[in-house]
Structure 1
Amino acid sequence: MDLDLRKVRYFVAVAELLHFGRAAERLHIAQPVLSRQIRSLEKDLDAGLFDRDSHGVRLTAAGRQLLDDSRPLLAAAEAARRRAHRAARGPRRLVVGFRAGVVVTHALRAFSAGHPDVDVAARRVEWDDQEQLILDGTVDVAYVRRPVDERGLTLLPLFGETRVAMLPAAHRLAGKQELLLCDLDGETWLRYSDPGPDDTPIRTVEEKFERVAGGAGITLVPESVAAQYSRPDIAYVPVTDAPPDQVFLAWEADRRAPLVAAFAEVAGVRG
């Protein structure tokens, strides 16, 4: 029995929302159609995926396992589709992802000099999509920062960066030459996953700026971010005992791509 990827996509929508009606809306199909497809998938697998009762919808043990397996499966299928589409368009292309603060210009130029027939593009990635954009083929290779979900990826360590405190300009410590972590005891810390007033998590460093400048808290950022982003209402102070921010080059582990290997060689030399 071949697994039907369309049914798997339907299953993931229900598993993520735990609501057939909302999942049907996301998928732009009628709810009865969705229900039939899920029942068909359960029959294909000979396993119940959801417990349904008056209290709602819950994943079974089989459903939880399938959800864990489905995301990389769908990402791999999407990556194959993207690569085939690129190949059909003609010239070879390499898309390089990068996090805020990481300068990729020199590596891109060095790679292009050795591969003039390759169209090279750069795309910004964020903390919450850096792995997914590699696995689904949106980018071929990316400069990522920890934390990194390493499943399905190969990581090449490049360099570490000193981290600095991002403070409101009027903060009591804003004029210091350097700080220790203990100097920041009692401060409200902002992290990317922290929800804001509208329950929306912080996604980008620019959103961190707004929260810090508005007095919501402080955070640590790599020194390269501080060097690239200057604002009169933000101050940066090095924190000498903060663990360094680690930068890696990452690509899909199972992919055998000469262009990715060639770029990794260039980036490793310049890391």
Structure 2
Amino acid sequence: MDVDLRKLRYFVAVAEQLHFGRAAERLHIAQPVLSRQIRALEEELKAQLFVRDKRRTELTAAGEQLLADARPLLAAAEALRRRVGRAARGRDTFTVGFMPGLIVTTAVRALAQRHPELTVEVVRTTWDDQVEVIRDGRVDVGYVRLPVDQRGLRLRPLLTEPRVAVLPTEHRLAGKEVISIADLAEDHLLQPPDAVPEWRDLATELREGRRVPEPAFHSVEEKLEHVAAGQGVVVLPLSVASFYTRPDLTHATVRDIADNQVCLAWDSARRSPLIREFVAIAEG
């Protein structure tokens, strides 16, 4: 049986929204059309994907499995489309993704010098999309900060660096060069607790059940604005905190948490000589 990628996209939209109406709006199609397509997909797969009633829509076990498998499949299809499109337009390009705080100029310049006919581009990524841009073909390789979902990727460790707590200048710990994670137990962390498990295991607001979910930040700059406003603290790699230095913020090394690991990552299914060459350059 051939799986229809369009139906898979429709399915993922409903699975992410858990609402047929909102999914139809996102896809710019009529809701009855979307419902028919999902029913057709269920018939093709011989599995019920959703349980619906008047109040809610939920994924079945089969739906959960399909969602886990469909996302990387759609990303791979999009990556294929991008690469074929570039080839058809005669654009010989190589794109490198990089996270904030990382400088990739030396490796990028070295590859460009070796291949004058090649256009080498760079794309700044975020915690939310550093892996997504590899899977969907927007970048050929990416400098990523762990942890990431490593499924379908190859990773090559490059370096580690300490992490620091970024604080407003009026914070009680401001001025200290080194602190313990226990010193932040009373503070509100403007990150998911799992991002700093050492803090999660000590945090007073978690123990007392009064944690307010952190806002959905889209950049380092947004996080730092909230820190400067006194709404909480963040833990960042040292290079990131140093790059975004500003007069109303300070930072202190946290001595008893794990360092941040930086790796080079690429799609494990690709066999590109340019990827191998760039990895060798970056490691050197």
Q: Which TM class, normalised by the smaller chain length? A: over 0.9
Q: Deviation of residue 250 (structure 1)?
A: 0.5
What's the counterpart of residue 150 of structure 1? 150
Report the RMSD for the aligned CA atoms in angstroms.
1.9
Alignment TM-score, normalising by the size of structure 2: 0.89
Output aligned runs, 1:152-171, within 5 Å: 152-171=152-171
Aligned to 2:113: 113
Structure 1 residues 43-52 or 172-181, which shifts more?
172-181
Corresponding residue for residue 38 of structure 1: 38
SS in 1 for 2:235: strand
The alpha-carbon distance between structure 1 residues 219 and 199, as it changes in their structure 2 partners (threshold 3 A), is closer
Asked whether 1:223 is paired with 2:220, we answer no
Question: Runs of at least 4 residues of structure 1 off by over 4 A?
Answer: none
User: For the Cα contact (< 8 Å) 1:12–1:67, is it kept in 2?
Assistant: yes
The SS at the match of 1:235 is strand
1:250 equivalent in structure 2: 265
Quote the residue 2:208 is aligned against: none
Question: What is the aligned residue count?
Answer: 268
How far apart are residue 237 of structure 1 and its match? Answer: 1.9
Query: What secondary structure is seen at the aligned counterpart in 1 of 2:231?
Result: coil
Q: Which runs of 5+ in 2 are unaligned?
A: 196-211
Structure 1, unmatched stretches of 5+, are none
- Displacement of 1:2 in angstroms is 0.8
In structure 1, C-alpha distance between the alignment counterparts of 2:44 and 2:81, rounded to whole Å: 25
Is the 2:190–2:214 contact (alpha carbons within 8 Å) kept by the matching residues of 1? no
Q: How far apart are the structure 2 equivalents of 1:219 and 1:165?
A: 6
**Contact 2:188-2:232 at 8 Å conserved across structures:** yes
Q: Which residue of 2 aligns with 1:24?
A: 24
Of residues 101-110 and 56-65 in structure 1, the stretch that sits farther from structure 2 once superposed is 56-65
Q: Is the 2:177–2:251 Cα contact (8 Å) retained in structure 1? A: no
The 1:46/1:114 distance shift into structure 2, 3 A limit, reads: same
Q: Note the alpha carbon deviations across 1:114-140, whole angstroms, 9 max, x for none.
A: 122110111111111111111010111
Cα deviation 1:123-171 (Å, max 9, x = unaligned) = 1111111111110101111001012110111110000011122110112
* Structure 1 residues 199 and 241, CA gap change in structure 2 (3 angstroms): closer
TM (normalized to structure 1)?
Answer: 0.93
Q: Which of 211, 220, 232 is the aligned partner of 1:205?
A: 220
